[in-house]
Amino acid sequence: MTEQIVQLKGVSKEFIDGGQHHRVLDNLDLTLSRGETIALTGASGSGKSTLLNLIAGFEYPNSGELILLDDNTAAWKDHRWSQFRHQQLGVVFQQFNLLTPLNVRDNIAFPLRMNRKPWSPWCDNLVDCLGLTSLLNRHVDALSGGQQQRVAIARALAHQPALLLADEPTGNLDQSASQEVMSLLKTLASEQQTTVLMVTHSLECASFMERRWHLELGRIHE
């Protein structure tokens, strides 16, 4: 079983804005090992979402290498990226990206369907931990922001991914719900060896993670 889940080697990313090249990530060398939990902090616009998007394959680096589960992604075609996302990756997006025509259960079951897996006792446990049991038949667009965020977290974890990328996963939750989600992520990391990379502006949430990375001027400071 590979221990290096994510490796970035000399990765840079720039965007062109008004004709100007804007380097958001500058020659990054990073490694995320199996079961590690990392809080990613940084000012607004420092590139935190860009880093998550690169690891998820939603953006591509301008230079450098991205190696996922010991496989260099430079040669990956769309189907290989889809396979990685369906099987190994869970993502909690800042805007949740829930499937609004569907109810809570079908949203959470979506990654299972992509992997042809049944709803399992693990899903019941997840739903229970996130306080979603009584909401399973509700349509997600009728839920509050905090409830939608918990559905997004459950959906990202239903298929037991090797890697969870979470962009402000507790931004809409109160302090006690937020602490429960942090405890859930810590348990997942230690019991299931899920690697967690979580963007947060909350120092309290960051304190639950083993490592803290601060992104500034395109570089990571630990």
**Chain positions contacting ligand ATP, by CB under 6 A:** 15, 17, 24, 42, 44-50
What whole-number distance in Å separates Cα of residue 79 and Cα of residue 204?
A: 38
| Closest distance of CB 18 from ligand ATP, Å | 10
* Of 17 and 222, CB closest to ligand ATP: 17
Phi and psi of 81, rounded to 5°?
A: -65, -40
> Could you identify the residue written with the tokens 């860009």?
50
CB atoms under 10 Å from CB of 182, counted, come to 25
Signed CA dihedral, 45, 41, 1, 162: sign only: negative
| Closest distance of CB 23 from ligand ATP, Å | 9
Residues listed for the chain = 222
| Closest distance of CB 94 from ligand ATP, Å | 6
* Of 83 and 94, CB closest to ligand ATP: 94
| Closest distance of CB 138 from ligand ATP, Å | 28
* Of 52 and 151, CB closest to ligand ATP: 52
* Of 95 and 144, CB closest to ligand ATP: 95
* Of 53 and 107, CB closest to ligand ATP: 53
H or E element that contains 125 = helix 121-129
Strand partners, 71: 68
Pairing, β 63-68 against β 4-17: antiparallel
| Closest distance of CB 46 from ligand ATP, Å | 4
- Contact between 160 and 194 under an 8 Å Cβ cutoff? The reply is yes
